[in-house]
Amino acid sequence: MSNVFYNFTYDGTFEGLLCVLLRCISTRVIPKNIQPDYILSSKLEFEQYTHIVTNESLAHKLYDYIGKFADVQVQQMVRDCFLTSLPNKEVDIYMLVRQALWRGNSVGDDFSNDSLRRIQMAIRDLYRESQSIPYDINFSHFINTDISIINPRNIVLPVMMDSVLRNTAMEDFLLYDRRHKLALLRRRDNDYIVDTSRIAVKTEINHDYVYNSLWKHFINEGNIRRIRPLHVCGRLTDNPTMLWDIAK
């Protein structure tokens, strides 16, 4: 049970991860492992982790603090790294934030840092993939909706969302990322990115399933909600709270 002090779980959102980072920094704990709670397969495994409850207010304060104290580019790296497929990215993000709060914006120029190099390479891969995938998207008309399914390495939907919406004239469509269980939806004049990770999804995904299980769930049953953690704006406060005050 000693691992519980070094292993942490969160709800899988960016803001949830920021709350884990704040807990570790304020208690001076270097995490061994940080995992989204929904990937833990058993009660015994879950008991080896400390679960951190998401507090959106604290998360936004920490995000603002990173941008003000370090640099908006470092702040952007933190968000972008969260969207990558980098193994153990949560711990690498912790190391980046820890270094940024200690050294300021110079951390972004430290090319001798192995963790930073991994993050930079992963972010390059994220943007390369987000630029290439829109050219390969093929929508199929299904009942009254256009459906397409992708399987990207990285969480590309938040990055390429504006490009897809700008170049898509369809009134109703659903673009589903089956690897990360995210869906980009357009319903008339409203656009959403929704998280489907809490919905029971079968292994074999096809257009019929996406329409009947996802489109109907979110549109016909009115269960739409925005994924705000993937769109943290990072507005900088004029007078940022000091870190030890944020942690209270």
Task: State the average pLDDT over residues 141-154.
Answer: 87
More confident residue, 114 or 230: 114
Contacts of 70-77 with C-beta under 8 Å, sequence gap 24+, read 70/100, 70/101, 70/104, 70/105, 70/107, 71/100, 71/104, 71/105, 71/108, 72/234, 72/236, 73/105, 73/108, 74/100, 74/105, 74/107, 74/108, 75/234, 76/234, 77/108, 77/119, 77/120, 77/123
Q: Which of 85-94, 98-107, 195-204 has the lowest mean pLDDT?
A: 195-204
pLDDT, one tens digit per residue, over 130-139 is 999 988 888 8
Query: Exposed, middle or buried: residue 51 (CB in 10 Å: 0-12, 13-18, 19+)?
Result: middle
What is the pTM (predicted TM-score) of this model? Answer: 0.81
239: pLDDT strictly greater than 80: no
Write down the pLDDT at residue 101: 83
Write down the pLDDT at residue 165: 83
More confident residue, 54 or 208: 54
31: pLDDT strictly greater than 70: yes
pLDDT, one tens digit per residue, over 162-196 is 888 887 777 888 898 988 888 888 877 778 788 77
Alpha-carbon distance of 181 to 198, in angstroms, equals: 9
Report CA Rg, the chain: 19
Closest by CA to 232, choosing from 105, 34, 56, is 56
